[in-house]
Homo-oligomer: A and B are copies of this chain.
Amino acid sequence: MTMKSLSLLAILSLLALTLPLAIASDPSPLQDFCVGVNTPADGVFVNGKFCKDPKLVSADDFFLAGLQNARAVANAVGSNVTAVNVNNLPGLNTLGISLVRIDYGVNGQNPPHTHPRATEGLIHFQANVGRSPAVAFAALSSQNPGVVTIANTVFGSNPAIDPNVLARAFQLDPKLIMDLQAKF
């Protein structure tokens, strides 16, 4: 096993090593971790996730393989975001943290966006200004921060926003707005 692939396993298994200690020392493990499960079949929803039965929790609930692999960036913006959040690493539930791997091609960008459920909620973007591809690992202060990409949201919403409204907001011709809405 090379150093690189081991390192990525290590990132994701930090919490798994804590499990035996937690179960041994505390009679209420459900309060120490709450592995997220999908909404039960009876259609009861909560804002967040229900917890997996703590007796059935295993180290696999805290592990995600493959973060070491580069992703394709041959798309409109020249980048690819791989999110590790509560939806694919259920052990993150209630822990308030998540991780993304971002691959950038030359001149690639992660276009202007906000995270509606993380502390850093201003509009921001990144662009690769180097002469070679790049990769970043970034942490976010939410188990499920979400992303609202500005261009997609404004011009690609479904149902579409009235083009006259967007024309006045962006000081553009309504016909150009309709062209943009067709693209997104």
Interface residues of chain A, those whose CB is within 8 Å of chain B, are: 1-3, 6-7, 10-11, 13-15, 17-18, 20-26, 28, 30-32, 34, 40, 42-48, 50-54, 76-78, 87, 93-97, 99, 102, 104, 107, 109, 111-112, 114, 116-117, 119-128, 130-141, 144, 146-159, 161-162, 165-166, 168-172, 176, 180, 183-184
A73 and B122 CA atoms in complex are apart in Å by 27
With the chains together, A50 CA to B40 CA distance in Å?
A: 13
Q: Are A18 and B99 in contact (CB under 8 A)?
A: no
Q: CA separation between A182 and B30, bound complex, in Å?
A: 27
Are B124 and A17 within 8 A (Cβ)? Answer: yes
CA distance A76 to B132 in the complex (A): 39
Contact residue among B6, B45, B116, B169 (Cβ-Cβ distance under 8 Å from A26): B116
Q: Which 10 A-B pairs have the closest CB atoms?
A: A139-B139, A18-B124, A111-B169, A10-B136, A34-B47, A45-B51, A24-B157, A25-B153, A6-B134, A7-B135
